[in-house]
Amino acid sequence: LESTKPDEMDKLKAKLMSAWNNVKYGWTVKTKTSFNKTSPIFVLGHAYLLNSEVVFLSLPYNFCCPSGSLLTDEVERFRLDFVSRIWLTYRREFPQLEGSTLTTDCGWGCMLRSGQMLLAQGLLLHLMPPDWTWPDAHQLTDVDFEIFRPRSPVRAAGVPIPSFGAPRASTTPEKSCSSSQKKKTESSRDRLAEPTHKKLVTLFGDQPPAPFGVHQLVDIGKGSGKKAGDWYGPSVVAHILRKAVAKTSVGQSLAVYVAQDCTVYKEDVLQLCDPSLNQRAADPSSQAWKSVIILVPVRLGGEALNPSYIECVKNILSLDCCIGIIGGKPKHSLYFIGFQDEQLLYLDPHYCQPVVDFTQANFSLESFHCSSPKKMPFSRMDPSCTIGFYARTKEDFESMCSVVGMVLSSSKEKYPIFTFVDGRGQDYGLDALSSNHFGPPPRLLPAEQRGRGNIRQGSEEFVFL
């Protein structure tokens, strides 16, 4: 009888914590986020200008609005883009996690949820039609943001952002008919893709069999000494996602590469994505090239974000090959997908919702799409984060290396956030590349320059840029 008491106490404690977290994260204050109508909003390679009266010339895209277009058209484009992102949050009342009494991830699983959203964005690019939007987005009519014009004129986006992407075709009045026809075609195409959309969401279900659900991710995390209820860092989650994808059928057409020590080794990516380069590949019919998600754990400063990296982060989020950044505020994970001026745009996992029963034929997708865009100053961003990219083909990967390399070289800092290097990690004396390294990724300075850095004390000492 005595031996059962601690277990009963744990269950009681878990129930009390669950009840508290359900209250804490089960409601939100409906405050509207304000967007500046004289500055563009960037969302993973797309630019939205909410003021049709102004034309900006110094943007990553040749983005302009015809004088006859309506402001609401551009607002609607932004709304559809944002609402179509997969939103994954805390859930409650799911099956008990193995080795624990927890039936919710409230209060501890936010980084796992942010990682799920990053992976989901990669899968949207991998499985869905180009520029897909959710056909039922109109269901979420309560969109919580407003647009304002500042009292004093400001220069768009502060400092001009270099052009690193292919120009977006601008709309012209003469093409309005063809544009309308294109919208109808895309709408029909997106409707036909809905079964794939639903299947993609079920991959992240809160049931033990779901390949990218919390149960599977927690189980994989045990290999790094993590357990349910622990807090997960962005580097740990990157490796968990890599292993999760490799275990599923999705891994037959998609690979995940995790950079080591802020370095992407091109030859290792090619070896991972092209089975024909692997001498051990016994199946001659194996696919010639796997699409790839590249995850780069980085630390952008010491105890706080180094402001010199802000413009580089903006440029990265402006690329269409970027699938976002998982990070957030200290001990408060968020999924960053864009920015406006000096504010990051994000999806927040800190909202507790009941578990969805995917066995129901017509289960609702509404709780997996967010209608409330939120912003946060760059200055509050935790320096520890993981940046994600997606390349469908080998040509896309080579183009990505070139484009992202240009962005990284544009940084005001002497040392870039991360680098692309020819060759393999083993050529540089790194063992078990992208395997079991779960610590914060150091970016080491030459020995003679280390005195100028900020040194973190403790078991994970390294020099920050």
Q: Which of 230, 261, 274, 350 is catalytic?
A: 350
Q: What is the pLDDT of residue 52?
A: 52
User: Is 13 contained in some domain?
Assistant: no
Among 8-12, 389-393, 409-413, the least confident range: 8-12
DSSP state of 108: T
DSSP calls for 130-196:
TT---TTGGG-----EEEE--SS---TTSSPPP--SPPPPPP-GGGHHHHHHHHHHHHHHHHHTHHH
Q: Which of 110, 273, 370, 385 is catalytic?
A: 110
* CB neighbours of residue 132 within 10 Å: 17
User: What is the tens place of the pLDDT at every residue in 144-179?
Assistant: 677 776 654 443 333 333 334 333 344 444 444 555
Number of domains in the chain: 1
Residue 31 pLDDT more than 70?
Answer: no
What integer best gives the mean pLDDT of the chain? Answer: 79
User: Is 140 contained in some domain?
Assistant: yes
DSSP state of 445: P
Catalytic site includes residue 110:
yes
User: Is 25 contained in some domain?
Assistant: no
Q: What is the mean pLDDT of residues 71-82?
A: 84
Residue 388 pLDDT more than 80?
Answer: yes
User: Is 349 contained in some domain?
Assistant: yes
Using DSSP, state whether 292 is helix, strand or coil.
strand
Catalytic site includes residue 350:
yes
User: What is the tens place of the pLDDT at every residue in 278-329?
Assistant: 655 455 555 578 999 999 999 998 889 999 999 999 999 999 999 999 999 8
User: Is 2 contained in some domain?
Assistant: no
Q: Which of 348, 369, 370, 401 is catalytic?
A: 348
Residue 442 pLDDT more than 90?
Answer: no
Q: 62 lies in which domain range?
A: 31-464
User: What is the tens place of the pLDDT at every residue in 415-427?
Assistant: 889 999 998 887 5
CA-CA distance, 356 to 94, in Å (whole number)? 9
pTM of the complete model: 0.80
Task: Report whether 163 contacts 403 (CB < 8 A).
Answer: no
User: Is 8 contained in some domain?
Assistant: no
Bridge-based pairing state of the strands 46-48 and 41-43: antiparallel
435 pLDDT band (50/70/90 cuts)?
Answer: very low
Q: What is the pLDDT of residue 184?
A: 66
Rounded to 10°, the helix 110-127/214-221 angle is: 110
User: Is 61 contained in some domain?
Assistant: yes
User: Is 12 contained in some domain?
Assistant: no
